[in-house]
Structure 1
Amino acid sequence: ALSHAVNRDEIIESIYYGFAGYPVNTVGEANSTYDVDMANSLLDELGMTERDSDGFRMGPDGNPFSMLVEHGAHAPDLEPVAELLAEQMKDVGINFQIKRIDSQLWGQRSTANELQATVFWGHDQNGDNDRLMGNLGLFGREWNTWFSTGGSEGVEPPDWVKEALDLNKARWESVAGSDEYNTLAEQGHQWQQEYLPQITLVEDVKYPMIASKKLHNIPQAGYAIACNFAGEQLWYGE
């Protein structure tokens, strides 16, 4: 429901100046269409038909429903995106309370499983392990603990989550770029589109990497920030 309430065209144009695209890999075309009527209908089906005097929905329990969305300062687009999201959610009666906190505090609250909701960035969708699990460490902290400790701690996840863990394990054991690897990666995308553990707003965000013209061997394509980890391949010259 919330994914259909997101006006991605507005986000792409006003926040990213057109240099971004729809989340066709991680959310899928069907789930990323902007349709306020559908979003409202789906929320009504959940039993959230009553609203308060401000037009915000009441929860199925009859109490005011709101979501605290806390974000850090990890990237400059997080705050304007969160604020725009809050405005868009008003059209379907969802009350987003936006709060910016220190990035270190955000990390502590995330680790302690104390974030109700957040806005965050992610690596590209073509191979990062967290992306193909829907970033399990954020949306399912106790499940992630169970996985990383071999089941000795945390909460055992349901079968649909274990399916993603099995997909990742098989992909890690395959050769990157092979047919097997690419097939498993695509199955991971299909898994995320089916279960939507997180709502990706946009994909393929473009951003410049600024470097001195005296610095040579700068890559012209690929994942720009990765250049930070390849200093031994760069050299200065006139």
Structure 2
Amino acid sequence: MAQKIIITHTANCRDRTEDIRYIILHCSSYSPDKQLDILDKYGLSTHYIVSERGQITENCPPDKVAYHAGESSWLGSEGKSLNGCSIGIELESFNLGQTPQDYSSAQISALCRLLRQLVFAYRIRRENILGHSDIAPKRKADPGAGFPWQKLYARQLVLWPSLKSLSPEAPEEELLQTIGYDTDDLTAARYAFCRHFFPREVAVRTDVHSLLDEPYPKDFAVRDREGYMRMLRAAAYAFQTERKKKYWYLNG
């Protein structure tokens, strides 16, 4: 049974001219109603908002372009933004997703059901479901180091690396680029990777809104360099291997 979705469409969208290839996950510290007000005020939009209780609001139909990604790139993509080829999903999170407790079970369950519908409808590959901080590492911190990527992996919705399979040793920057990160600012890319795949390196901030002005510490260096490089090589291998597959699938 399809889950109930509240329709609150905005005029801040446009027709698509590109195929949908990505789903980008965001979070906001505001309630869905407040998020809608803020998006409208600044001429922005998202496709869906998932509340802490698991209620889903559709702000823009998925067959339209929403203005959610901003300046962004992945795998050296052309253009200044991934808006045209992506679907954006906002999650309510008062603490901006810094810890696993910042996302409720009802919220993640609703998100997974929504993702499954979108993946089937638009044939979106699991390596292309990403966080906002992945595609905009210099600007964004969401959905945060506490986002439960491994729960989504358990449902075959996203990619997660195995430390049993590593790519050959290579420079850090090259490995990050292999995964898809823009390494124009290597420190930002490193921190974004840690947020997604190695969150124990990411500090929790008590001043949540400082993340909006300073999404990553400019002097960041990983403490567990060996563990970080192993995970980086594992992720590079996983993404390379997945992209070589000539088929698309999602069980269930």
- Pair in the same fold by TM > 0.5: no
Higher normalized strand content (fraction of residues)? 2
Structure having the higher Rg: 1
Higher normalized helix content (fraction of residues)? 1
